[in-house]
Amino acid sequence: MRKTFASIFAFILLAVVLVGLAFRPHTSFAPFMNASVSASVAHDDVSGYHLLKRIPVPGDPSWDYLTLDALTHRLFIAHGTKVDVVNVETDKVVGEIPDTPGVHGVALAPDLNRGFVSVGRAAQVTIFDLKTLATIGTAKTGENPDAIVYDPATKRVFTMNGRSDDATAINASTGDVVGTIPLGGKPEFAVADGKGHIFVNLEDKSEELQIDSKALKVTKQWSMAPCQSPSGLAMDVTHDRLFAGCRNQLLAVMDAKAGRVVTTLPIGEGVDANRFDPGTGYVLSSNGQSATVTVIREDTPDKYTFLDNIPTARGARTMEVNFQTHEVYLVTAQFGPPPAATADNPHPRPAIVPGTFVVLVLTRTSGPMKMKR
């Protein structure tokens, strides 16, 4: 009888353990974590992020970068042939910037009351009034302007031109083109440090460039190995750290002064945007194929802790962060089967289901704050 009771007790104990493991709330990439001492896993810590709401947005074309004007709560969404403007507090579409075929991104210059749109197919920048959204001018660029960034130090706007392998510099006050900078490779995302430098990923060479935004020339060029095909880019300006999302599912942390890779950490598949929130010390990566946002905490400029992967939705590859509320915004849609392959398009993308385009809003209710850095 004692043996029977012991067997039953052991079976119940095993069942409790297995159920507990099955219902762990977060799946992490901890088994694949970089072995460097500068990266660690917070086994019990999670970021506290979860889905708050969805905001439907009309229109079915493809999309690209997101930009937030936090003072007016307006999210600018590059959406096919126009820029949609959504108030993320009222959940309403409050305007648009039309006639921007192949739009990629938006840069804002609040001090000048101007916004700038990179219009890929037209090889130009559309300049608009930040309050009224009315178009007030255009400026020619290189071929297929993609990422676009405003540099407050020089009051210039820079486009990263994906087909001509160069960058166009525009006087943000006048709209005049002031120069073209050869990059020697295909640029992806870029950031300004506010100190007279632009940093840009070269996707095809897996390199990081430093551009002097006043002299309009490349001043530094660094390898990003083991990072491959860097896409998204963010920066901790205070500590001169760059965070590059790489297509081989790594986040590369770079010292922007020394040009060295400090460490790498695992992220999801299909990254296209990264952000650094100085209020929480979180580095975020939006991963469209994995349908996650990877959250990593900066403990010190040289030490980072993986927190978790927040579930999102397939295709949610671009992202913006509200540094006041710490909300995260992503966009995606539902996908149907791809069209039939043709000689011109042997690998067609899945079709977007009409009427399903949406903004996903993640909010943070708890979680470990940044450590003293």
Over residues 141-172, the pLDDT tens digits come to 999 999 999 999 999 999 999 999 999 999 99
The whole-angstrom separation of Cα 10 and Cα 284 is: 43
Q: Is residue 369 pLDDT above 80, yes or no?
A: no
- Write b or e for each residue in 92-127: b if 16 or more Cβ atoms lie within 10 A of its Cβ, otherwise e: ebebbbeebebbbbbbbbeebebbbbbbbebbbbbb
| pTM flag (> 0.85) | yes
Q: What is the pLDDT of residue 23?
A: 38
Instruction: Tell me the per-residue pLDDT of 256-299, one tens digit each, with 9 for 90 and over.
Output: 999 999 999 999 999 999 999 999 999 999 999 999 999 999 99
Quick one: pLDDT at residue 46? 87
> What CA–CA distances, in Å, run from 256 to 108, 169, 323?
24, 21, 22
- Does residue 2 carry a pLDDT above 80? no
- Compute the mean pLDDT over every residue in the chain, rounded to the nearest whole number: 89
Q: What is the CA radius of gyration of the chain?
A: 22
Residue whose entry in the numeric block shows the structure tokens 């130009």: 124
Nearest Cα to Cα of residue 162 among 141, 179, 186, 180: 186
Fill in the DSSP letter of residue 359.
Answer: E
Residue with tokens 């493809």: 62
Count CB neighbours of 306 within 10 A: 26
pLDDT tens, 194-243? 999 999 999 999 999 999 999 999 999 999 999 999 999 999 999 999 99
CA distance 356 to 93: 15
Q: What pLDDT score was predicted for residue 368? A: 57
Q: Around 24, how many Cα atoms within 13 Å sit in the side-chain half-sphere?
A: 13
CA–CA separation, 166 vs 182, rounded Å?
A: 4
Question: What CA–CA distance (Å, rounded) separates 155 from 139?
Answer: 15
The per-residue pLDDT for 44 is 45
Percent of the chain exceeding pLDDT 90 equals: 81
Q: How confident is the model over 12-36, as pLDDT tens digits? A: 444 444 444 443 334 333 332 333 3
Residue 281 Cα to chain centre, angstroms:
16
Tell me the three state secondary structure of residue 29: coil
Q: What are phi and psi of 158, to 5 degrees?
A: -120, 130
Mean pLDDT confidence for 94-99: 98
Q: Cα(209)–Cα(40) distance, rounded to whole angstroms? A: 28
Phi-psi region of 95 (alpha: psi -120 to 50; beta: other; left: phi over 0): left
- The span from the CA of 103 to the CA of 113, in Å, is 21
pLDDT at residue 18, rounded to an integer: 43
**Residue 64: φ, ψ to 5°:** -145, -130
Give, as one character, the DSSP assignment of residue 178.
E
**What pLDDT, in 10s, does the model give residues 324-365?**
999 999 999 999 998 899 988 888 888 899 999 999 999 998
Q: What is residue 366's predicted lDDT score, i.e. its pLDDT?
A: 65
Identify the band that residue 45 occupies on the pLDDT scale cut at 50, 70 and 90.
low
Mean pLDDT of 55-80: 96
CA distance 289 to 17: 32
- Residue 215's nearest CA partner among 291, 263, 153 is 153
**What is residue 1's predicted lDDT score, i.e. its pLDDT?**
45
**DSSP 8-state code for residue 30:** G
Average pLDDT over residues 82-101: 98
Catalogue all structural domains in the chain, each as residue range(s) with its CATH number: 40-60+226-336+352-373 (2.130.10.10), 64-223 (2.130.10.10)
- What does the pLDDT average to over 108-134? 98
Query: Is the model's pLDDT at 41 over the cut of 70?
Result: no
Structure tokens given for 192: 């300004």
Instruction: Determine the pLDDT at residue 35.
Output: 32
Contacts with 294 (C-beta within 8 Å, 6 or more apart), sequence order: 29, 251, 266, 267, 268, 284, 285, 287, 306, 308, 309, 310
Is the torsion defined by CA of 281, 213, 232, 118 positive or negative? positive
- Return the closest-CA partner of residue 149 out of 75, 65, 269, 261: 65
Distance of CA 173 to the CA centre of its chain: 27
**pLDDT score recorded for residue 296:** 98
φ, ψ of residue 296 in degrees (nearest 5) = -125, 140
The more confident residue out of 7 and 115 is 115
